[in-house]
């Protein structure tokens, strides 16, 4: 049975993959601090040992596989792209995985396998040097790493969602690795949407109207631009004549 440490666990996507693939496994522990993610993880899988904040973990118990979909906020195009800075950015928490692997090496407990997932920009011109530094370190630590940009739309999910997947295998047991070949997409988003959704999942229109003033950029004195024309908006979000 495969033993697993699930770092940056979120709601347990890696665990769900193991279940969907019918791979016998046991979760040794997870690392997660977001209370909503923890609540969701528990609701899905039941109570699971949580190591807590990865930066405060001294050592992980041995597991055959570590998964680490570390935070993407500081490398995503939707963020400020501050990068993978140790002890400064959320994406810099990758280096906590390095620290824990170093500790595992001291105890001769390196995992056999590592699986990483993150946004496509990790291998962009801006961040590739940091990713290469990570790959080089894994190599020096005894791992062969195979990585590829994969799109969810190529694997049965009707969504264009590109992610970098990296699989690291100890050189002493590595016999090579091939990523799965794309499959035909036979679903549309409509096929996955629920037809009857409880009203409790809808946002009350009154609540939407209430937050509009907060969305308006007050620093611009409630103005927006359309071409060269300045448009005025009142506190209810209504365009003024």
141 has catalytic annotation: no
Residue 210 dihedral angles phi and psi, to the nearest 5°: -70, -30
Residues 84/124, Cβ–Cβ less than 8 Å: no
Phi-psi region of 227 (alpha: psi -120 to 50; beta: other; left: phi over 0): left
C-alpha–C-alpha distance, residues 25 and 227, integer Å:
58
CA distances from 15 to 1, 25, 69, 111, 170 (A): 14, 9, 12, 17, 21
Residues 224/233, Cβ–Cβ less than 8 Å: yes
Residue 96 dihedral angles phi and psi, to the nearest 5°: -70, -35
C-alpha–C-alpha distance, residues 233 and 241, integer Å:
9
Residues 91/72, Cβ–Cβ less than 8 Å: yes
Select which of 18, 28, 60, 72 is catalytic.
72
Active site residues: 72
């Amino acid at each position: 049975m495969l033993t697993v440490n699930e770092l940056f666990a979120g709601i347990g996507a890696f665990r769900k993959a193991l279940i969907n693939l019918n791979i016998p496994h046991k979760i040794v522990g997870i690392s997660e601090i977001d209370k909503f993610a923890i609540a969701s993880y528990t609701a899905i899988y039941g109570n699971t040992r949580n190591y807590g904040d990865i930066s405060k973990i001294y050592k992980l118990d041995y597991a055959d596989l570590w998964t680490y979909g570390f935070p993407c906020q500081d490398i995503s195009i939707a963020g400020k792209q501050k990068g993978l800075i140790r002890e400064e950015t959320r994406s810099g928490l990758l280096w906590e995985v390095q620290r824990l692997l170093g500790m595992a090496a001291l105890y001769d407990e390196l995992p056999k396998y590592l699986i990483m997932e993150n946004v496509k920009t990790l291998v962009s011109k801006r961040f590739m040097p940091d990713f290469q530094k990570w790959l080089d370190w894994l190599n020096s630590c005894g791992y062969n790493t195979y990585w590829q940009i994969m799109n969810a739309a190529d694997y049965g999910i009707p969504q264009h969602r590109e992610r970098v997947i990296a699989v690291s295998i100890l050189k002493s047991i590595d016999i090579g690795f091939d990523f799965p070949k794309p499959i035909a997409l036979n679903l549309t988003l409509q096929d996955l949407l629920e037809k009857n959704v409880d009203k409790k999942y809808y946002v009350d229109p009154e609540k939407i109207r209430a937050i509009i003033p907060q969305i308006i950029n007050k620093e611009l004195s409630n103005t927006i631009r359309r071409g060269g024309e300045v448009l005025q908006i009142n506190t209810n979000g209504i365009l003024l004549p």
